[in-house]
Amino acid sequence: MTKLTHFDEAGRAAMVDVSAKAETSRTATARGRVVMAPETLALIQAGQVGKGDVLGVARIAGIMAAKKTSDLIPLCHPLLISKVTVDLTPAPPDAVEIEATVKLTGQTGVEMEALTAVTVAALTVYDMVKAADRAMRIEDVRLVHKSGGKSGTYEAS
């Protein structure tokens, strides 16, 4: 079994010491989706949601979330992120697909930042249209790619 890195010798939660790691270019991409009634997606696409541009606001929320991941997830390192992209794409008849990519040059990876960006973007979509559809579901949030660092490249199958 792989040794978990966020525990010390006594089994207590601890922040990983990355000071001896080399700085490398690191990238992570995560995806997820919000499933909704077809009528709800139609409202979003038509720009008829009273709170404003749902996909635009969710994109900004995802970018902001990536930058604040260390404030939200215990033991995450604060990172000097170089780039964050969050794309929200309507997927008729009943979903919005979300993809976030985070990049930096540093001593630790950005998987948590990409996953946080997708999750907060999805929550923002939910929040902005919940009055029309409380049965929406946030689904399939997962890491699909990471590169850089000692462990190399990961591609989801």
Output the known binding site for substrate. Answer: 75-77, 112-113
As given in the structure block, the two tokens for residue 46 are 């038509």
Note whether 119 and 83 are within 8 A (CB). Answer: no
Report the C-alpha gap between 62 and 119 in whole angstroms. Answer: 8
Q: Considering only CA atoms, which of 27, 85, 90 is closest in space to residue 59?
A: 85
The single residue of 53, 71, 127, 133 carrying the catalytic annotation is 127
Note whether 95 and 36 are within 8 A (CB). Answer: yes
Residue ranges of the binding site: 75-77, 112-113
Distance from first CA to last CA of the chain, Å, rounded? 21
Q: Is 127 a catalytic site residue?
A: yes
Q: What SS3 string covers 94-123?
A: CEEEEEEEEEEEECCCCHHHHHHHHHHHHH
Catalytic residue positions?
A: 127
